[in-house]
A and B are shown apart, each in its own frame.
Chain A
Amino acid sequence: MDILPQLIANSLIAGSIYAMVALGFNLIFSTAKFFDIGYGALAAVGAYTVFYLAKVHNFPTLVGVIAGVVVAGILGFVIEKFVYKKLRGRKASNTVMLIASLGVFTALQAVIAIFFTSQFQTLPSDLFGRGVFHIGGGVVTSVQIAIFVLALIIMSVLAWFLYKTMFGKAIRAISDDEEVARIVGIDTEKVIGRVFFIGSAIAGLAGILVGFDTGITPTMGFSLLLKGVIAAIVGGVGNVFGGVMGALLLGTVENFGIWYISGEWKDAIAFTLLIIFLIFRPQGIFNRK
């Protein structure tokens, strides 16, 4: 099967993007314990920051990328502080949190569309170049290699961070039992705020990388969020590394599926996988219950 190396390459690249989105999403879910839909819009915020700085104002693209990641992180932190934290303080239910985050998502998307229109835009290509490589029989672009490498770096750094640093241990403690974490002196609100910064920055980076690969629109965060959430559910919601495995599985099933069926069925395949998991293993691959 000559197409096999290409399918594997495509699966890994798609899986890498989904993994990044799922990592940040799961990190936030595991501490704040609600489905943060607003998270999706931060991917677009990151991408449009690069567009604004590098394309509109001709700053170096790398400056735009760094700014995009930081802006997404800070915006995520601010939204947590002024919206979600206030709601938690009022003992808001998960449904209320979900609706609030939907509001955040819609508002951010609308603001981006007002300033930049809803038209498709591209990001400068100077940072990763337009190189095309033949690896093991498959063809990949330099941007796609960057996506794969950066996803690997983020996973490794996050693994080190969660398992080796004191702050990472605090995150895991909150994820396990927030009430006890408070009793043993962990300032859970502060930790959750920082988790929003980190998770949102990852979303921003994912949006930027997708922007380099396929271009940007204000609504780009929605499909990314959906795929990230499917990956998170397949791997196990709140299980940070389960999400990575879910993402790789999703990328593989999608890419092999569209080869056998047709490209238009890509989303249908993803949702079929989601439905199968929701029916037969709602806790995902890596969660026990």
Chain B
Amino acid sequence: MVSVSILQTQKLHKHFNGVNAVDHLSLRIEKGKVTGIVGPNGSGKTTLVNLLTGMVPSDSGAVLVSEMKLSRIRPYDVRTYGMTRTFQQVRLFQQMSVLDNVLVVLTERGVFLSLFEYHTNFHLRQAKVVLEQVGLWDKRNENAENLSYGQRKLLEIARALAMGSDTMLLDEPFAGLFPSMKKTVAGIVQKLRSEGKTVVLIEHDMEIIKHLSDHLIVLDAGKLLAEGKSHEVLSRKEVIEAYLGE
């Protein structure tokens, strides 16, 4: 079967203060699969996600979304391209309630009448579904800033789920979570895969990566070091060396 790439980079390049964060990187993210991206600190994982979501402009190279070459990605177009993301350092709308953090992404705002648009029971039901999925429905009236770190991470994932995007880029979604929360997030990733969604998973925990990824990409100093099935890739000598610094 021919695999279909939903996201592709072609010689994508970004440098900060003379350091190549992403170095002429070409890779493919396949549709409907969980692709893990690993690499030592500073290997360019988060910069790659920032480039894919238009949060930092690239110096050169291109990003292809569903085979469509994009010269420039604007952050608010990311949703139009069927993508969403979470952040390594959780970024919520802190002053808003848990429920409003989800409700705010649930409607289109294309017309002038949206000035008076009200959330309906339909939106509330959608918000309830995703908040129950992460176990935060009971906290719906709390301000986001009052949640624990783990709960805030879960809320960020719920917000991303509410957007119903086909491609989700999750930047270290398991970091700092209690085991029960990790189980919840792992369950969400598996459910997304079973629904045919594409997940890009940046993670440091190798056990989780082995368990969840269909395909693994290893970055080092902004370059592609290895890719393939996770078990096979993680046993390669160059990958072990990059991690252990041998």
Q: Answer yes or no: A90 CB below 8 A from chain B CBs.
A: no
Q: Given A177-B93, A180-B91, verify A165-B117 contact (CB < 8 Å).
A: yes
A185 touches B76 (CB 8 A): yes
Q: Answer yes or no: A128 CB below 8 A from chain B CBs.
A: no
**CA gap between A21 and B91 in the complex, in Å:** 31
Residues 161-193 of chain B, each 1 if its beta carbon lies under 8 Å from chain A, else 0: 001000000000000000000000000000000
Q: Which A151-209 residues have a C-beta within 8 angstroms of B?
A: 164-167, 169-170, 172-173, 175-177, 179-188, 190-191, 194
- Complex interface: chain A residues within 8 A of B117 (CB): 165-167
**CA gap between A194 and B111 in the complex, in Å:** 11
Q: Which B89-143 residues have a C-beta within 8 angstroms of A?
A: 91-96, 100, 103-107, 109, 114-119
CB closest residue in chain B, given A172 = B96
Nearest CB of chain A from residue B88's CB, rounded to whole Å: 13
A-B contact count (CB 8 A): 87
- Complex interface: chain B residues within 8 A of A190 (CB): 109
B96 touches A184 (CB 8 A): no
- Complex interface: chain A residues within 8 A of B76 (CB): 182-183, 185-188
The size bracket of the interface on A is: 20 to 34
Residues 188-227 of chain B, each 1 if its beta carbon lies under 8 Å from chain A, else 0: 0000000000000000000000000000000000000000
B100 touches A166 (CB 8 A): no
CB closest residue in chain B, given A183 = B75
Q: Which of these, B80, B92, B93, contacts A185 with CB under 8 Å?
A: B80
B53 touches A183 (CB 8 A): yes
Nearest CB of chain B from residue A7's CB, rounded to whole Å: 35
Nearest CB of chain B from residue A233's CB, rounded to whole Å: 19
**CA gap between A168 and B78 in the complex, in Å:** 22
- Complex interface: chain B residues within 8 A of A173 (CB): 93, 96, 104
Nearest CB of chain A from residue B160's CB, rounded to whole Å: 8
Q: Given A169-B96, A172-B96, verify A185-B115 contact (CB < 8 Å).
A: no
CB closest residue in chain B, given A174 = B93
CB closest residue in chain B, given A190 = B109
Q: Given A177-B93, A183-B75, A186-B76, verify A166-B104 contact (CB < 8 Å).
A: yes
**CA gap between A183 and B76 in the complex, in Å:** 5
Interface residues of chain B, those whose CB is within 8 Å of chain A, are 53, 55, 74-76, 78-80, 84-85, 87, 91-96, 100, 103-107, 109, 114-119, 159, 163
Interface residues of chain A, those whose CB is within 8 Å of chain B, are 164-167, 169-170, 172-173, 175-177, 179-188, 190-191, 194
Apart from A169-B119, A183-B79, A184-B105, list 5 A-B contacts with CB within 8 A.
A166-B117, A169-B96, A172-B100, A182-B74, A183-B75
Sample of 10 A–B contacts (CB below 8 Å): A164-B118, A167-B114, A169-B104, A172-B96, A176-B92, A176-B95, A177-B93, A183-B76, A184-B84, A190-B109
Pairs of residues from A and B, 5 with the lowest C-beta to C-beta distance, nearest first = A185-B79, A182-B75, A176-B93, A182-B76, A166-B117
